[in-house]
Amino acid sequence: MNDDRKITLTRKTNETDINITLNIDGNGNSNIDTGLKFLDHMLSSFAKHGFFDLEVTCKGDIEVDDHHSVEDIGILLGECFKEALGDKVGIERMGYGVVPMDEAISHVAVDISGRSYTVFDADFEYQLIGDVNSQNIKHFFESFANSCRINIHITAKGENDHHICEAIFKAFARALNDATKITHDQLLSTKGKL
């Protein structure tokens, strides 16, 4: 069992330069600077509601658009969780979160199964939510799931794009917090491996 579930990872490409420090067993403290104010807000909410301590810095080619930054942050954050979880012995493995935000509501279920899959059932009315392209919200979760090798199911509805998106990030945080909790001394898999 991994008793120290803290990690710092970097990802540097021709498009982005990202540093992330994650403590799964944190208090919800965050220091986020992605160059995208709306993504900063979503990741701060994610940290707060998941009780994860999270530091993220990203220098990306946002003069092109936000795609590479959103994608690569999703990839690296997923890698951080995967590495910090270690052998996964004792974790709950599955988690579920439901979060309302005014007229919006989101349901998120996760399974830290060692297999990546994403279901994203949410629609946004506008192309931009703040300074982030709404198409890239789904892509963030796909990137996270692929690098973390987890299953994420997201459903959300509402009228305000900001509310829908924030409900998703908060519900994801609650689901992942439950799934990563250490509550026993077993590996929850009949295969013997996650």
SS3 content of the chain, % helix, strand, coil (to 5): 35, 30, 35
pTM tops 0.95: yes
Distance, CA of 77 to CA of 137 (rounded, Å): 14
User: Based on the structure, what is the number of domains in the chain?
Assistant: 1
Task: Report pLDDT for 3.
Answer: 56
Structure token digits, residue 101: 């935000």
Task: Report pLDDT for 2.
Answer: 43
Asked whether residue 193 is domain-assigned, the answer is no
Asked whether residue 130 is domain-assigned, the answer is yes
Does an H or E element contain 187, and which?
none
Asked whether residue 17 is domain-assigned, the answer is yes
Read off the pLDDT of residues 54-82 as tens digits, 9 standing for 90 and up. 999 999 999 999 999 999 999 999 999 99
Write the CATH number for 69: 3.30.230.40
Asked whether residue 189 is domain-assigned, the answer is no
Distance, CA of 168 to CA of 137 (rounded, Å): 10
Q: Which amino acid is at 129?
A: I
Asked whether residue 95 is domain-assigned, the answer is yes
Distance, CA of 135 to CA of 71 (rounded, Å): 11
Domain of 56, in residue numbers = 6-180
- Strand 151-157 vs strand 117-121: parallel, antiparallel, or unpaired? parallel
Q: What is the DSSP letter of 182?
A: B
Give the 3-state secondary structure of residue 55. strand
Task: Report pLDDT for 1.
Answer: 39
Q: Are 77 and 7 in contact (CB under 8 A)?
A: no
The ranges of the chain with pLDDT < 50 are 1-2
Asked whether residue 186 is domain-assigned, the answer is no
What is the side-by-side order of every strand in the sheet holding 16-23? 6-12, 16-23, 53-60, 30-33
Compute the residue count for the chain: 194
Q: What is the DSSP letter of 184?
A: S
Closest CA to 65 of 128, 123, 141, 126: 128
Asked whether residue 187 is domain-assigned, the answer is no
Closest CA to 120 of 68, 71, 79, 156: 156
Asked whether residue 40 is domain-assigned, the answer is yes
